[in-house]
Structure 1
């Protein structure tokens, strides 16, 4: 499945403008044969917008979600997008979420970030409580995660054990942590025998300088495609044949000894 990674910070603070950026990218991705478009973390609103996160947050079935679904259906490709999710229970709870929408506009899966990074995120979001969220797409089992979550090996291993083939990781990775994109993400893909689509914001936004370097890492531990430091629509293929061959050659999951991995007394 050809996968498009939209490396962009969009227009922080404007959902309307970000929906336009998403629509334009979806058109280009579909024209290039992509079946899936993935955006960065909190793409619909912007990341470093302070209290604007709560103000612009919407339910998973809100107006912005409907607009994304319409874009996906019109261009005929699935879309995974980051956004702040407000729970419709009157509590004011807001999650840092990613939603996957099918090519016909059907909402397939919604994931809430479980590991919040730093005081900024903890001040604005509640951590999610569900580790593995998946959906079937294009013959692949697709898993969802957000940024800091991928830096915990237990998280990605849980996806591997649950059968994830392609892990989508919308990201807001700032300087000086570019080694995560450059080194850690390909290692996560190799040690768990899956594809990892790590899609970052880029440029200066408030106090954060996002480093770009979005990548589709393969189960062979290589970056099958890598973006630079500017806005870019990156295209790369997820190949089931390579995935099967790599899993046969690297039996990490079969060779595990879980009885040794418990918490020390």
Structure 2
């Protein structure tokens, strides 16, 4: 299976320009049919708290149409609201027919960056069968909470796909933690970080595709990049069967969370 990451400089709160940029990158190097495409957190507006401006259906419609056009799976980031009007930082996967699977809401809003004042946290994990690969979507700050990833691994996740707006000042944390999550969960980790800048922060890109042993298969620099690598979905289970470290996990230490095995919406 081919994995593609669209790393680019998001146009601040400008969906039309951002979507056109992503389209141009994908048109220039079309992904393989039935491959997996990952774009950043809040993929066409940037890390904005301006819910009045950014919450609408255009992001999902773009992802659905792009998935149909290229016959691929696309994980995209977008904002929504809950029943109380609070923001939700979400990601969802559209399949090659354009159907959208259950969305994941970021469990850990970034309180240091005041995200938690505008966005409510989610309370469940989502697993999506992407061809022969069981993928768990994650979002940015979730990377710092390994217990969440371990719960997904316990539920069967073979790969984690995380879209982010990870600041340049902590770039080394991004890289180190992605590799650690791959090693400790014996899973593929696909991490898409934006590059460029917004009115508040600079971003260093550094998107990565990592195999279940922690080996980096592909890595981007700090410029707009369509990063691609071919992966073998069976490699996660193969490595887990060969090196059975998870047999020694103390399950009582993990806690619980609802895990949804996704169906198309």
Query: Structure 1 residues 262, 218: closer, same or farther in 2, change over 3 A?
Result: closer
Shift of 1:209: 1.3
Supply the distance in 1 between the matched residues of 2:28 and 2:101 (Cα, whole angstroms): 23
TM-score, normalised via structure 2 length: 0.89
Structure 1 position 105 matched with structure 2 position 101: no
Is residue 2:4 matched to residue 1:4? yes
Equivalent residue for 1:226?
A: 219
Of 123, 147, 150, the residue aligned with 2:117 is: 123
CA distance in 1, matches of 2:147, 2:254: 12
Residue equivalent to 2:66: 71
Deviation of residue 32 (structure 1)? 5.1
- Report the TM-score when normalising by structure 1: 0.89
Shift in Å at residue 180 of structure 1?
2.5
Unaligned runs of 5+ in 2: 256-265
Quick one: distance in 2 between partners of 1:137 and 1:227?
23
Cα separation, 1, equivalents of 2:217 and 2:86: 38
Greater CA drift, 22-31 or 238-247:
22-31
Q: Any residues of structure 2 matched to 1:23-62 within 5 Å, and which?
A: 23-31=23-31, 35-47=35-47, 49-51=48-50, 53-58=51-56, 62=57
Structure 1: state its 5+ residue gaps: none
Question: What is the root-mean-square deviation of aligned Cα atoms in Å?
Answer: 1.9
Query: Contact 2:42–2:77 (CA<8 Å) still a contact in 1?
Result: yes
Higher-RCO chain (CA-CA 8 Å, sequence separation at least 6)? 2
Deviation, 1:123, is 2.5
Aligned residue in 2 for 1:21: 21
Number of residue-to-residue matches in the alignment: 254
> Partner residue of 1:185?
178
Aligned to 2:114, what secondary structure does the other structure show?
A: helix
1:178 is paired with a residue whose SS is helix
Q: Is the 8 A contact 1:192 1:252 kept in 2?
A: no
- Conservation of the 8 A alpha-carbon contact between 1:3 and 1:34: no
- Alpha carbons of 1:133 and 1:241: their partners in 2 closer, same or farther (altered >3 Å)? closer
